[in-house]
């Protein structure tokens, strides 16, 4: 996708996400909203969602949009694990070239994984986006997705 077009869509979707989350304190509902709005706004997004840190070194799927994903990923596996370990965004232009990539769906060809932090700076999740196209993600995706996940700060999921 053209850089200008991408920028335009991200600016619009970020605005929509911000408006929808206004006043919402629930973390799960907010993650679901982000996954949904991103997934349906950017046509090169094939799988869009979160893996939450549920135990030391362990990620658990959800909320997400797309085909079936692997349920649990440990920090020592895959691109999600690598981003969780390094606490930095990872862009992989060709997942087949990434040692240890976890192929949940063989249609996935490139990927970006963005760490999600709470207000204290603890890693609480990663946002994982896969594309069926090679080399779909760049600095524009990184900058906007890193900004969008900051909208989750200060939100918590309370037990019912
Ligand atoms: N490809 C990821 C696994 C998650 S799925 O893409 C949904 C990885 O290697 O971390």
CA distance 100 to 107: 17
Q: What is the band of 4 on the pLDDT scale with cuts at 50, 70, 90? A: very high
Identify which has the larger pLDDT, 72 or 159.
72
Q: pTM for this one?
A: 0.96
List pocket residues of ligand 1, CB cut-off 6 Å. Answer: 47, 69-70, 73, 78-80, 101-102, 104, 108, 111, 128, 130
pLDDT of residue 158: 79
Distance 5 CA to ligand 1 centre (A): 27
Instruction: State the DSSP string of 33-59.
Output: HHHHHHHHH-TT-SEEEEEEEEETTEE
For residue 118, what is the enclosing H or E element?
A: none
Q: Is the alpha carbon torsion for 68, 13, 22, 88 positive or negative? A: positive
List the residue whose alpha carbon is closest to atom 1 of ligand 1: 102
Q: Is the alpha carbon torsion for 28, 32, 33, 34 positive or negative? A: positive
Distance 78 CA to ligand 1 centre (A): 6
pLDDT of residue 99: 87
Joined tokens for residue 35: 């996954």
Contact present, 25 and 100 (Cβ < 8 Å): no
Averaged pLDDT for residues 100-124: 93
Contact present, 143 and 125 (Cβ < 8 Å): no
pLDDT of residue 53: 98
pLDDT of residue 105: 85
Distance 77 CA to ligand 1 centre (A): 9
Strand partners, 116: 125
Mean pLDDT taken over the chain: 96
Contact present, 65 and 149 (Cβ < 8 Å): no
Distance 23 CA to ligand 1 centre (A): 32
């Amino acid at each position: 996708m053209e850089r200008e077009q991408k920028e335009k869509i991200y600016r619009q979707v970020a605005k929509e996400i911000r408006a929808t989350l206004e006043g919402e304190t629930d973390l799960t509902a907010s993650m679901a909203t982000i996954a949904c709005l991103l997934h349906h706004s950017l046509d090169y997004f094939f799988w869009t969602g979160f893996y939450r840190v549920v135990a030391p070194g362990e990620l658990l799927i959800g909320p997400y949009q797309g085909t079936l994903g692997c349920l649990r990923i440990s920090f020592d596996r895959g691109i999600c694990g690598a981003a969780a370990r390094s606490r930095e965004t990872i862009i992989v232009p060709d997942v087949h070239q990434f040692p240890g990539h976890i192929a949940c769906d063989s249609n996935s060809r490139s990927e970006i994984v963005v760490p999600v932090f709470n207000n204290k700076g603890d890693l609480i999740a990663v946002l994982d986006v896969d594309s069926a196209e090679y080399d779909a993600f760049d600095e524009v995706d990184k900058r906007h997705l890193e900004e969008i996940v900051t909208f989750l700060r200060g939100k918590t999921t309370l037990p019912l």
